[in-house]
Amino acid sequence: MPVSNSVDREEPSTGDTDTDGDAGDREPTDGLPINELFYSLQGEGTLAGVPSVFVRTSGCNLRCWFCDSYHTSWEPTHAWLDLEAIIEEIESYERAEHVVLTGGEPMIHEGCVDLLEALDERGYHTTVETNGTIYRDAPIDLASISPKLESSTPTPERDPKGKGEWAERHENDRIDLEALTDLVETYDVQLKFVVTDDDDLPEILELLAALRDAAAVPIRDNDVLLMPEGATRERLEETRTRVAQLAMDHGFRYTPRLHVDLWNDAPET
């Protein structure tokens, strides 16, 4: 269900949520800003094809120009749902044993820890899709980390709003090596890079080298996934063949965007 459309919006009792990513103590203590909550197939990564419930929070601390969840970042919309309501909706999809917490950037919200703990108590397998700039201590079965490359920066010529006001902030904040290190040392991870073309590979290799030097655990090439940039079938047609070849050339994994192949850019997929 697209929560922002089907549920009466509840404003935070202590002030509006800062959906730029600095919500802090202005958020209510219970619940999360939910943009969508729906049942579908996991479309990306090592669990592609698995029936899953998606809990999409609103708000992000970055602004990738190609963001495929525009209404959680550039124009964040949401309904505020308490933890009980979120769990009740998840449990209504009786066939699903896997829950994907995604966004936006779900880790900006302290309430994500409460949700993950509740899901763990109920025996769900959880994936958290994160940009890797924030670490939280929570029961996460798979941290799907998508570090944002320089090619994601919304420069003035590719800013969806045409203002370029996010370029410097995004560029400064898109990589946090300390948070990345904490994540890979704590959780089972997949490092999922959105690749536009060959020019992205030197940056990926450089970041991997730095992360391997910093982390006290091994990072296997099999943990590194290259995913073609594209939120529509037409755009994927332009990028996926080359990205697949790059994965083979470097010994990394290729991940499709199954939901785009199946449903194009439709919501709740």
pLDDT tens per residue across span 192-230: 999 999 999 999 999 999 999 999 999 999 999 999 999
Domain encompassing residue 98: 3-222
126 assigned to some structural domain: yes
35 assigned to some structural domain: yes
Query: Quick one: pLDDT at residue 2?
Result: 55
143 assigned to some structural domain: yes
Asked if 242 contacts 197 with a C-beta cutoff of 8 angstroms, the reply is yes
Query: Quick one: pLDDT at residue 30?
Result: 85
67 assigned to some structural domain: yes
Query: Quick one: pLDDT at residue 42?
Result: 97
Q: Distance (Å, rounded) from C-alpha 63 to C-alpha 171?
A: 9
What is the domain-level CATH number for residue 214? 3.20.20.70
Using alpha carbons, list the distances in angstroms from residue 35 to 69, 220, 242.
10, 34, 33
40 assigned to some structural domain: yes
For residue 36, give every residue at least 6 positions away whose Cβ sits within 8 Å of its Cβ, in sequence order, or none.
Answer: 1, 2, 3, 4, 54, 56, 267, 268
Looking at the structure of the chain, the number of domains it has is 1
Query: Quick one: pLDDT at residue 251?
Result: 97
Record the pTM. 0.90
Query: Quick one: pLDDT at residue 27?
Result: 64
Closest by Cα among 83, 107, 121 to 180:
107
pLDDT tens per residue across span 168-186: 999 999 999 999 999 999 9
87 assigned to some structural domain: yes
Model confidence band, residue 28 (pLDDT cutoffs 50, 70, 90): low
Using alpha carbons, list the distances in angstroms from residue 65 to 24, 34, 105, 162, 251.
25, 22, 15, 10, 28
Query: Quick one: pLDDT at residue 179?
Result: 98
Model confidence band, residue 7 (pLDDT cutoffs 50, 70, 90): very low
> Coil, strand, or helix at residue 183?
helix
241 assigned to some structural domain: no
239 assigned to some structural domain: no
pLDDT tens per residue across span 108-148: 999 999 999 999 999 999 999 999 999 999 999 999 999 99
pLDDT tens per residue across span 46-69: 999 999 999 999 999 999 999 989
Mean predicted lDDT score pLDDT of the chain: 91
